[in-house]
Amino acid sequence: MSIAFDNEQQIFHLSTPKTSYIMKVFNKRYLAHVYWGKKIKTPDMDNACLNRFICFSPVTSDENGVNVPDFLCQEYATGCGTDYRIPSISAVYEDGSRTVELWFESYEIKKGKYSLKGLPATYTEDDSEADTLVITLRDRLKNLKVELLYGVYNNLDVITRAVRVINSGDADVILEKVVSANVDFETADFDFLQLSGAWGRERHIERNPLRSGIQSIESRRGASSHQLNPFMVLADKKADEDYGNVYGFNLVYSGNFTAGAEVDQIFKTRVWMGINDYDFSWKLEKGQEFTAPEVVMVHSSEGLGEMSRTYHKLYRTRLVRGKYRDEVRPILANNWEATYFDFNEEKILGLAKEAADLGIELLVLDDGWFGKRNSDNCSLGDWYVNEEKLPGGITELARKVNEYGIKFGLWFEPEMVSPDSDLYRKHRDWCIHVPGRSRNECRFQLTLDLSRKDVCDYVVEAVSNILDSANISYVKWDMNRHMSELGSAMLPADRQKEMAHRYMLGLYDILERVVSSHPDVLFESCSGGGGRFDPGMLYYMPQTWTSDDTDAVERLKIQYGTSLAYPISTMGAHVSAVPNHQAGRVTSLKMRGDVAMSGNFGYELDLMNFTDEEKAEVKAQIAQYKELRTFIQSGDMYRLLSPFEGNNTAWMFISEDGNDVFAGYFRVLCQVNPGISRLKFKGLSEDSNYEVVGEDKKYSGDELMNIGLVVDLYGDYMSRTFRLKKVK
């Protein structure tokens, strides 16, 4: 059992292979946080769990002793005027009072991991893989019960948390804030790492020292967003890829979130993460419960690299589901950057034939196949085929593509409606809107109100009708705007602030229904590229289109940053045309191929424009990726050189058995008369020898890791890859 309760000392000790997480029931009432970090034996509590007076901070005292909530490290902070740091929960009771006083009541330890009704979460396949701790806190006056859920993995350094609030009182309660976790640290000697950006520039790593006050990230956009990912790390100031304590937090949720760190007056730090309380409230009627989504917490005492590999393994094996969790992902060609809206059946079949000749395994037809959509200004919601472009419909097109020996995939944007669509003309109240106010469009579209059951049913039916009408093996599920004028025609006035979260619950319900009834389809999520790259979406769809920016240089930062939390097998990465459509840059076909191979590989350009020489190079790339993908997609990743720190980027992948290695080294700009550049590998076995495939050379693991291999590159936008095999 990874969870123990010491009754005498009133201590919970959660342990994973290399970490400990310790809490104490303090003065019989308060749940205090004691420690999270490298594995230790249970410590002496007088030493480990401090409770001291601070001037101008209230004291609660009773027959059990004295408690200074503003000082004590809290496990789930209620504020209520005695702890002035940021609270995790706020509520308004029927009498207008707002004090939530949560006292420890009981606990339960169970084998296996909890699941969350209607919400995505990491899972186990066997109860022996994890244990669950449920700690019940109660506001005795109002009978509000708060269950803190902990999932503790036995073979991974992962602790997950979630919260259930149950109204056992006699009257309605309005929840104004329920975050999923807070973790208090005794110190503020940390850097705060976040993944920020914009459309086309997603998940760049930013690192800043903590300072007094609040540093936070959030989304108010109705999606996890391109701008700030629901992921943050606290890292020792000197921590790097291989060294130092780092603490990762990732929310398994795809909507509005809040996360951050507050450094208080005595330089302690409180981290929180959960649903954003901005424009949120939830009316909890008597007997009802509210569940806050899961936070996945990973501690590593061996730096960021180890933390990422833990997230990668967990997400690859116990977050994503379905047949493609354990299967290699197909190499695809997507017609978007090849044709945009300007295609017909002949053009698509031409691409399919060419794709098949090159060894590509799947042809994806992107936007523009339905309604009268020849540009982005109409037809979303009208999910029937445009027979002018595709006379035989999707059924015939898929059949003809299959005749070339490759699979067929299709694009949808089911959460949206165009004002110029039959759907909108019929159901003007099906979109998110506030009566009498402007309905502001973005990309000429409005967002469907997925807080409504009838709208969700329509979406499931519309998508399923198409999926069931043809041999479709892949779906790209896109979403191209953020929410505005939040309101639902179906919700009463006192529930309007529930809309954004109800949308997410509706979306998750749709995804569960569509995905589970089409188990053989590979789903890839997308939101203008990587605008909803989060663990919530990955639970339903095992891969995400990483970014609309396909420029090889730009992708170094995007893919490197994304890998801080998310595994390679979740990242779509395509070779596109030059000059690149987003950046205007001309990079070599080799570099474009090498960068895209560090993800789920594909092509997104007019395959018919290749010269014979390029065709031969592309065929070789495809053959190479087929050989490498088993371990690129499922092996361990080591980041070797950061694009955020210099001109050179490098990373490598190693198979689980350690026998196969692939490394990429990328140089953005040429330096004349440069110093010596070497690629120093990581994660190899010091005592083994490795053959450099294609070079008839062998080196020992210790040489490869400590001396490294020389990389000589000439010219801008260059790359060099190494394929190693362990030899006896």
Half-sphere exposure of 195 (CA within 13 A, CB side): 30
How far CA 629 is from CA of 48, 142, 200, 328, 635, in Å, comes to 47, 56, 25, 7, 9
**DSSP code at position 328:** P
Residues in the chain: 728
| 500 vs 526 by CB, closer to ligand DGJ | 526
Smallest gap from residue 548 Cβ to ligand DGJ (A): 4
> Token pair of 421, please?
């669509």
The continuous run of DSSP H or E covering 246 comes out as: strand 246-251
Q: Per the residue annotation, which of 70, 83, 366, 548 is the catalytic one?
A: 548
Exposure b/e, 376-411, CB count within 10 A at least 16 = b = bebbbbbbbbbeebbeebbeebbebbbebebbbbbb
Which residue of the chain is nearest ligand DGJ when measured via CB?
Answer: 367
| 253 vs 336 by CB, closer to ligand DGJ | 336
Smallest gap from residue 366 Cβ to ligand DGJ (A): 5
Q: Pattern of binders to ligand DGJ over 481-520, x per CB under 6 A?
A: ----------------------------------------
Closest CA to 635 of 652, 651, 650, 655: 655
Q: Per the residue annotation, which of 70, 83, 478, 534 is the catalytic one?
A: 478
Size of the site for ligand DGJ (CB under 6 A): 11
Smallest gap from residue 427 Cβ to ligand DGJ (A): 22
The strand ranges marked E within 394-505 are 407-412, 416-417, 446-447, 474-477
Q: Rounded distance, CA 352 to CA 578, Å?
A: 21
Closest CA to 250 of 321, 326, 311: 311
Smallest gap from residue 336 Cβ to ligand DGJ (A): 5
Stretch that binds ligand DGJ, among 24-32, 148-156, 424-432, 521-529 (CB under 6 A): 521-529
| Contact between 572 and 602 (Cβ < 8 Å) | yes
| 480 vs 559 by CB, closer to ligand DGJ | 480
| Contact between 413 and 367 (Cβ < 8 Å) | yes
Is there binding between residue 526 and ligand DGJ (CB under 6 A)? yes
Return the axis-axis angle of helices 499-516 and 453-467, rounded to nearest 10°.
30
- 50-54 contacts at long range (C-beta below 8 A, 24 or more positions apart): 50/186, 51/26, 54/265, 54/266
Smallest gap from residue 431 Cβ to ligand DGJ (A): 18
Q: Rounded distance, CA 688 to CA 700, Å?
A: 6
Smallest gap from residue 415 Cβ to ligand DGJ (A): 13
> Token pair of 190, please?
């940390």
Task: Name the 3-class secondary structure at 10.
Answer: coil
**627 Cβ contact partners less than 8 Å away, ≥ 6 residues apart:** none
Of positions 529, 535, 602, 701, contacts ligand DGJ by CB under 6 A: 529
Burial class (CB in 10 A: 0-12, 13-18, 19+), 701: buried
Closest CA to 320 of 724, 600, 641: 600
| 525 vs 648 by CB, closer to ligand DGJ | 525
Q: Rounded distance, CA 101 to CA 79, Å?
A: 9
Of positions 264, 478, 549, 551, contacts ligand DGJ by CB under 6 A: 478
> Token pair of 580, please?
């690149």
| 525 vs 569 by CB, closer to ligand DGJ | 525
The continuous run of DSSP H or E covering 493 comes out as: none
Stretch that binds ligand DGJ, among 43-51, 189-197, 210-218, 524-532 (CB under 6 A): 524-532
Smallest gap from residue 593 Cβ to ligand DGJ (A): 19
Query: Under rule CB under 6 A, which residues in 326-385 are in contact with ligand DGJ?
Result: 336, 366-367
| 102 vs 605 by CB, closer to ligand DGJ | 605
The verdict on whether 240 is a catalytic residue reads no
Strands 571-576 and 543-545: parallel
Burial class (CB in 10 A: 0-12, 13-18, 19+), 435: exposed
Stretch that binds ligand DGJ, among 9-17, 141-149, 522-530, 698-706 (CB under 6 A): 522-530
Of positions 153, 545, 666, 681, contacts ligand DGJ by CB under 6 A: 545
The verdict on whether 127 is a catalytic residue reads no
Return the axis-axis angle of helices 589-596 and 552-562, rounded to nearest 10°.
10
| Contact between 297 and 158 (Cβ < 8 Å) | yes
Smallest gap from residue 525 Cβ to ligand DGJ (A): 10
Stretch that binds ligand DGJ, among 266-274, 425-433, 453-461, 526-534 (CB under 6 A): 526-534
Q: Pattern of binders to ligand DGJ over 431-470, x per CB under 6 A?
A: ----------------------------------------
Stretch that binds ligand DGJ, among 429-437, 525-533, 551-559, 651-659 (CB under 6 A): 525-533
Q: Rounded distance, CA 387 to CA 335, Å?
A: 18
| 333 vs 711 by CB, closer to ligand DGJ | 333
Stretch that binds ligand DGJ, among 150-158, 244-252, 271-279, 523-531 (CB under 6 A): 523-531
Residue labelled with tokens 């050179």: 648
Smallest gap from residue 367 Cβ to ligand DGJ (A): 4
| 398 vs 479 by CB, closer to ligand DGJ | 479
Query: Under rule CB under 6 A, which residues in 547-566 are in contact with ligand DGJ?
Result: 548
Q: Pattern of binders to ligand DGJ over 385-424, x per CB under 6 A?
A: --------------------------x-------------
Q: Rounded distance, CA 396 to CA 381, Å?
A: 22
Smallest gap from residue 610 Cβ to ligand DGJ (A): 21
How far CA 211 is from CA of 117, 216, 246, 257, in Å, comes to 38, 12, 17, 22
| Contact between 642 and 648 (Cβ < 8 Å) | no
How far CA 242 is from CA of 238, 304, 469, 647, 705, in Å, comes to 10, 7, 51, 21, 13
Smallest gap from residue 411 Cβ to ligand DGJ (A): 6
| 69 vs 371 by CB, closer to ligand DGJ | 371
Smallest gap from residue 281 Cβ to ligand DGJ (A): 33
Smallest gap from residue 258 Cβ to ligand DGJ (A): 26
Q: Which residues bind ligand DGJ (CB under 6 A)?
A: 336, 366-367, 411, 478, 480, 526, 528-529, 545, 548
Q: Write out the catalytic residue numbers.
A: 478, 548
